[in-house]
Structure 1
Amino acid sequence: MVLELSFLSVDVVILGVLAYVIGLVSVMAYQRYAPKRSDSRSEDAVAEAIVLEYTRRLKEYDRAISEIRARLDVMDMRLPAGAPSHTSQVGSYARVVSEPVTVTQHQPTASIEGQNGTTDYILKLLVEKNLTSRDVKQAIGRTREHTARLMKKLTEAGFVERQVNSKPFRYTITEAGRMRLKGKAEAVPASEIQQAAV
């Protein structure tokens, strides 16, 4: 059974195969390059969002700079005309720095002994319960740095002990601290306590 396809010539077959191949290649090319265009659109959107964000930030910075300039102008207007400028002070600082500086070291216990009632107040608080440096800061109403320096001096003097096994560190009063409080209480006569109460 041989099929006769006499109506098909070689030219018709070649043109059909060629049209099929061209169609296949054009579909593959379209599929390959079409997603690239959508990716470039998303990249453009991301770039535009970044540019908008930086533009917003620059506007905020410009606004802040203009506010600072306005404040500086107000301060310059309040400054008396005869007041010395900052540039003239630079020379005096340079002269002070070039002079020799003597450094003296003090005993830490001597500075604790001369302290005002803040030290005793902290020790009294620590008698009641162990405190963190934040608790001490809130109780005495000083800055964190001031409280840290004070607690360091008390620790070095032996009045307070830092418990480093837990965070935040807690401070406890030592026997030396208790003796200091007892010594202060005994040093004040009863008549002064009664006068202070009145």
Structure 2
Amino acid sequence: MLIEIPDPQIIASVIIAFVVGIFGMTIYNKIRSFSAQKGMDPSYLSRLEYYERQLIDMKIRMDALDLEETKVPAPVIEKVEAVLEKKVEEPVRKEPERPVSKPRMPNMDFNGIAEHVLGLITTKEMTSRDIQITIGRSREHTSRLMKRLFEDGLVERNTKKKPFTYKITEKGRARLGNLESPITA
């Protein structure tokens, strides 16, 4: 049996094509590993998480400021009315504002804190972090509390948004009773 050997040009072209293919695959793997390494750098992920926490904290502070702006204490209104009635032309001296310390939440049993949280979310939906800051408890405590309220059917969890928001259900309103005004932070 005779075996026919192809021309040397065909053999050379097959060898060159093989070498070019191996060279191309090597370059492709180098580029892919470089781009994957840059995207998965842990320092980028930790930096992203840090900024995300900062944004959440800023949002909570902005919400707290909005809540403080809506409250106008009665003594301030009376002072303004007194100044308008007297029509005093001398400049009004403004006393320096003293920082108001927020009273610490007293220790309550589950029912007391649950009713307090239900009162907080009667006016608007709140995240677990908002509730945590308002009641002054740990993240774990607040998470367990909200889970229990959700399982009891007293609150609804909106899972379409991240972080989840909670709002009171009709069962929660019934548990809360006939409070004249909702509890505010």
| TM-score of the pair, normalised by structure 1 | 0.35
Q: Which has the higher contact order (CA 8 A, sep 6+)?
A: 2
Larger Rg: 1
